[in-house]
A and B are shown apart, each in its own frame.
Chain A
């Protein structure tokens, strides 16, 4: 059937801080490599065309749609997925905020939405409403109408600032 028959190649990258090598097709979507080869199924597929953001992950510190990244382009990359966000049993502040403020309903957009929020708050620790809307516009949610997601972002931003303030105060006390 196929005019070109391609073999698998070895692709090495780090995922959530661990170096991994997979044997895969060069055109294989990073999404499939994560989900099928590495069994990291927290990264979801909603559309396969970069529209919904359910497959969001960080590649070299930048939020991307993993359905649009061929495996070969992930060679040597530093990849962070939803599975790597919490530190052990302790949830990341954004994850906790999505529980507390009702930002997760059916949950299928949630991993991507949480990571998009992490990206947003890295860039804008105190985001304006317009920055929140723009920052999350690539992650579609059909359940919440986005209001509780906006609340979750605000809750998370406050929690992160409070933690940083506490840490700064702690440092001040020590010096």
Chain B
């Protein structure tokens, strides 16, 4: 272990109100910590800034999954395991279940949380592309009250997000996308191995088809830009398109290639990420044609 454990203070309030009060009273002092699956890795490597951490892991107000007719609402501290095993999520939001299943492996899924994954703001996280593709909304809570923001646009730059001082992610609301209403889901995590892998490219797309055309589509990429990437050009190329349009494949490929901003790093190359992004976008089109 490369960190000095005596240089880290951690408190663990028992209620959300207590946590929010602490955040409001001592602004900028406390860094929230959920399941620890990201922060503890940095800690081990000696790369976690020393200071004061607020463990919110035990807060009951931020846990659990509720379902209504239109949407599934997931408490920020819901674990991947709970998401992976949830029947409605598996049925209507299968990409979210798959992202949870492919994050780390079982022991990580038992500890890691969806809210923690969002707030850690890693561009390589597995759930954010699915949340982009599903058009999720975040409810944020602070001592001053709550507000709701669309997930698309929440991340504003590398490790930057629209989270105000003293604010915590409360829950994630995801509109249901049942296949019976014409929704097609396409998720592909390209990691270094089957499990215990960090994404080199992650692709999530959800489209509604009607009359041989694409009525509505949202696409998110992971690991190809400083944040989760909203694939606007790809969405524009597909929205309203006829699936039998012969030029569509080239347009999709070009849009994907154009909008990813991949880099070389320890896990892969920019060339690989760009080429695979293009391949997956085209494969998504093929899936739409097969399913449409």
- Listed in ascending order, the chain A residues whose CB lies under 8 Å from chain B are 1-6, 25-29, 32, 48-51, 53, 56, 62-65, 67-70, 72-73, 75, 116, 119, 133-135, 137-140
Q: Are B81 and A138 in contact (CB under 8 A)?
A: no
Most buried by B among A1, A62, A133, A140: A62
Q: Please indicate the chain B residues that have their CB under 8 angstroms from the CB of A49 in the complex.
A: 40-41, 44-45
Checking A4, A32, A65 against B8 with a beta-carbon cut-off of 8 angstroms, the contacting residue is A4
CB distance from B62 to the nearest CB of A (A): 14
Tell me the dominant secondary structure on chain B's binding face: mixed
Closest residue of chain A to B48 (Cβ to Cβ) is: A27
9-residue interface stretch from B52-60, B133-141, B258-266? B52-60
> A49-B41, A67-B40 are contacts. A4–B111 as well, Cβ < 8 Å?
no
> A2-B4, A5-B6, A70-B10 are contacts. A64–B51 as well, Cβ < 8 Å?
no
Tell me the dominant secondary structure on chain A's binding face: loop
Determine the interface band of chain B, counting residues with CB < 8 A from chain A: 35 or more
Most buried by B among A2, A32, A68, A140: A68
Q: Are B6 and A6 in contact (CB under 8 A)?
A: yes
> A2-B4, A51-B196, A70-B55 are contacts. A26–B10 as well, Cβ < 8 Å?
yes
B250 at interface, CB cutoff 8 A: no
Q: Please indicate the chain A residues that have their CB under 8 angstroms from the CB of B232 in the complex.
A: none
Q: How far apart are the CA atoms of A140 and B197 in the complex, in Å?
A: 12
Q: Are B196 and A4 in contact (CB under 8 A)?
A: no
CB distance from B113 to the nearest CB of A (A): 12
> A62-B81, A72-B12 are contacts. A137–B50 as well, Cβ < 8 Å?
no
B210 at interface, CB cutoff 8 A: no
Q: How far apart are the CA atoms of A140 and B51 in the complex, in Å?
A: 33
CB distance from A30 to the nearest CB of B (A): 10
Q: How far apart are the CA atoms of A29 and B37 in the complex, in Å?
A: 12
Q: How far apart are the CA atoms of A56 and B107 in the complex, in Å?
A: 8
